[in-house]
Homo-oligomer: A and B are copies of this chain.
Amino acid sequence: MSPLSLEQVAQHKSPESCWIIIRNKVYDVTEFLQEHPGGAEVILKYAGRDATWVYEPIHPPDALEKNLPPSKHLGPLGLDSARLLDEERQNAKKTKDEIRVEEARRRLPPLSRILSLSDMENVATQILSHRAYAYYASAADDEISSMENARAFTRFFFQARVMRPVATCDPSTTILGFKSAIPIFVSGAALAKLGHPNGEINITKGAFNEGIIQMVSSNASLSPTAIMQASDQTQPLFFQLYKHRDDDIAERRVREIETLGYKAIFLTVDAIVAGNRERDIRSPWVLDEQDNGPVYYQPESVGTKTIEVNIFGTAGALIANDDRDMTWEKTIPWLRRISRLPIVIKGIQCVQDAILAAEAGVDGILISNHGGRQLDYSLPPMETLYALRRQRPEVFDQLEVYIDGGVRRGTDVVKAVCLGARAVGLGRPFLYAQSAYGEAGVSKLVQILRREIVTAMQLVGASSVNDLLPEMIQRVDWQTPYAKL
């Protein structure tokens, strides 16, 4: 393949012939336009041009190579063109947001001054690009479930026990049989490269350092292979599966995952359609206004029957091809048939479905409303856990129960474990930590939680997770207004 020039590429900027440049390589994506989960429009915006900077942070590096037949790999950009592109990039005027981020990153506080997950989040809100923060923080509609997930924990108080020997206190547990230093795990945090160039691998390494388990998202900005390669040989990794609507494609994915060495499948059932994440949708408009000022209404021609508006958030499209017709009867047996891995259903939101999951014989359930990013006013997982404990305690003997959503303190973890959760997942906090400090931030995060968990365990009178019992928890009938959530 002979090198191509910018001028050549520039001629292919229409739906009829659409070329784009990624990392100085040229691809013909004309036929792929209709298949792109994010829609053709997004690609066409960069037709005939370099698209590296928008492609990189949200795709595994090999995504395009894997999805395009070799014949569409048109070859490298010529040296002169590459140099020209490079100059362009360097001379490009920085956006106000880029300038803000650069400045904020220079003022990053020392890691030793990060005392809590809330400190970590505060730092992240400073140093993240508007786009990244909007994607990470955004949630469905009015973000009620997202915020109530955290607030739910503030209704649970401890009936702490005293005069118990707790000088030695072991916070470790197992998850699906795999050792975990403390009862937490990384819950499906995707698009980590939006916040840090190393992306999800920061989390993988930090998790190994601290002895906890990472559940890797289908939507990670790095491929499952890349993440597995970056992991330690002895380190268990779980996989968060978004099942493709085509069973064959889905089966290939599952087999690939098992072959790669992932140790469990967390089947995601709470994100079969895109949640309405307005903060994320608004993000490009905000950035545009910052640099170019506001835009105003031009009256549409009256009489138009429908005024369709295309709405794409950063990740709305990630699940465009997911299976929206999964059922207990069909999907679980199919998955059991094609894989020997333990199966956990991620996204249980009420007691009744927890019972169905137990009847379906899965190995675990992750009570989750996807961090409030899908259905607003879905019940907070901590409340669902509490309801399950009160209404159907036997379920805790039939499978492992986890929750995620809103966990910000060691006491949150201890409360959930008291009520029967085997472990508790965290998502956004890991994204914030790795965005600000990379791998070191991830380690710090776990260390903070470890210290908080051990302190809380000792002060409630528990020397191991087995000592944490439902009677140590009282759900109160008031609501603290003091919590910083």
Q: Which residues of A contact B (CB under 8 A)?
A: 106-113, 115-116, 118, 141-144, 147-148, 151, 154-167, 209-210, 245, 269-270, 272-276, 278, 281-282, 285, 294-300, 302, 304-309, 311, 324-328, 331, 345, 347-353, 356, 369, 374-379, 383, 409, 411, 415, 437-440, 443-444, 447, 451-452, 455-456, 458-460, 471, 474, 476-484
Contact = CB atoms under 8 A, between A and B. Distances in A.
The list of the 8 closest CB pairs from A to B, nearest first, reads A159-B350, A375-B459, A167-B324, A165-B325, A108-B297, A162-B269, A160-B349, A112-B309
Given A162-B353, A167-B245, A304-B440, 13 more contacts: A110-B297, A111-B307, A115-B278, A148-B482, A158-B377, A159-B350, A160-B349, A163-B331, A275-B455, A299-B440, A307-B444, A307-B447, A378-B459
25 contacts: A107-B296, A110-B297, A111-B297, A111-B309, A115-B311, A141-B411, A141-B452, A142-B409, A142-B483, A144-B480, A144-B483, A151-B480, A159-B349, A161-B352, A162-B348, A163-B327, A163-B331, A166-B272, A166-B325, A273-B459, A299-B440, A302-B438, A307-B447, A308-B447, A377-B415
A163 B471 CA distance: 33
The dominant DSSP class at the A interface is loop
A376 B413 CA distance: 13
Contacts of A282: 113, 115
Nearest to A478: B479
A426 to B, nearest CB: 16
Between A144, A162, A210, A456, the greatest number of chain B beta carbons within 10 A of the residue's beta carbon is seen for A162
A281 B286 CA distance: 38
